[in-house]
Structure 1
Amino acid sequence: MSITLSDKIYTIEDYMKLDDGNRYELIGGKLIMAPRPSYKHQRTAGKIYTRFENFLEKNPIGEAVQEVDVHLGIEVIAPDVLFIAKDRLDIVGELYIQAAPDLVVEIISPSTASIDRKKKSKLYFIHGVKEYWMVDPDQRLVEVLIAGEKEWRWAGVFDQEDVLTTDLLPGLEISLSEVF
């Protein structure tokens, strides 16, 4: 379960000083602590990340990374997997990503579903993420949202019978039967 630590309004400076070994995100000035991901969560994220990495080794059109801080204005989040196109790699800083990645993958768990589906979705859209995948390992579903002019466009929900593709990584095919 995610825990909001207090009513105090935190800043990025406060966030950057944290060094207690816990996992936090900073959303709306609230410091949110999340437990370590479950085995299923990590396994699912790892399988998706591995498919990105294998593809990018043969097609060097950008970089994928897992669980790194992303600073979006005054917010700090840590997507499970993200992709940044080659021509935007200047947003990669020494300690964190300094702007919105091109594609974000969040593994949905019961303790984070509300935040992932509502708060993070809104943040990702406002700050310019082009595509957002919400992966539910319990339901074995992936919901894909693509940035439209004024809001997310729903691209569909995909299950283990489907193969995921994205225009952001032309030629990438992720068989969801291999992920789930």
Structure 2
Amino acid sequence: MTIPVAPDSPLPRRFTAGDLPLMLESGILREDERIELLDGELVERAAKGFAHDVVKNALMRRLVPALPDTIYLGIESTLQLRPTLLLEPDLLLAPVSARSASPEGFCTIPGSEILLVIEVAASSPAYDRGRKAALYARHGVREYWVIDAQERTASVHREPASGGYRDVAELPRDAILRPRADGLAALSVALAALD
């Protein structure tokens, strides 16, 4: 008789979007907790500070007037890309027709239909440029901006592939960002003006 050998370390318990309402209901999580579900792992997000809020609000003031009614602007919306992946991008732009509710009750949009995701990074630029960029690329999100709230610089990620984005440009404070998507042709964001 062969006795199975236990792994050297315990296997992690992976969660799904369906587990979160149960955790809220039982009191394991609170409604106001800032978490994301990354490949089944619950990740706590840092609290948003003054610089983050200034940049995010300045972005909204510039984007909203230029957006046609056919474009959905998600502001800190929970986005479900698969059962084990819930992200909370600061801003997300996609055709209104592409969004729907997942069985778990979260917003779901096929990654290839998302026109632009913007993350404002105050305390986590490496995380947003690294792990989160890889997740967005893996799901086919066409364009992903990470704006450094302190420096007012940006990393613009384009051309998603399975291992990340093929085109990543680091832009200085005096740059003007313009999304590539046809539906967003009227948008431009001057980084230095995000005050």
TM category (shorter chain) comes to 0.7 to 0.9
Aligned to 1:97: 107
Give me the identity figure in percent.
22
Aligned to 1:31: 42
- TM-score relative to the length of structure 2: 0.77
SS of the residue 2:74 aligns to? strand
Say yes or no: does 1:11 pair with 2:16: yes
Say yes or no: does 1:118 pair with 2:127: no
Aligned to 2:191: 176
Aligned to 2:60: 49
SS of the residue 1:144 aligns to? strand
Say yes or no: does 1:129 pair with 2:141: yes
Alpha-carbon contact 2:125-2:146 (below 8 Å) kept:
no
Cα deviation code 1:123-158 (max 9, x no counterpart): 101111000001111122011011255641335222
- TM-score relative to the length of structure 1: 0.82
SS of the residue 1:12 aligns to? coil
Aligned to 2:76: 67
Alpha-carbon contact 1:15-1:26 (below 8 Å) kept:
no
The Cα RMSD (Å) is 2.1
Structure 2 CA distance, aligned partners of 1:128 and 1:10?
23
- Which shows bigger deviation, 23-32 or 158-167? 158-167
Cα deviation code 1:103-138 (max 9, x no counterpart): 11111233x334312221111011110000011111
**Deviation (angstroms), 1:39:** 1.3
**Structure 1, unpaired ranges of 5+:** 1-6
Aligned residues between the structures = 169
Bigger radius of gyration among the two: 2
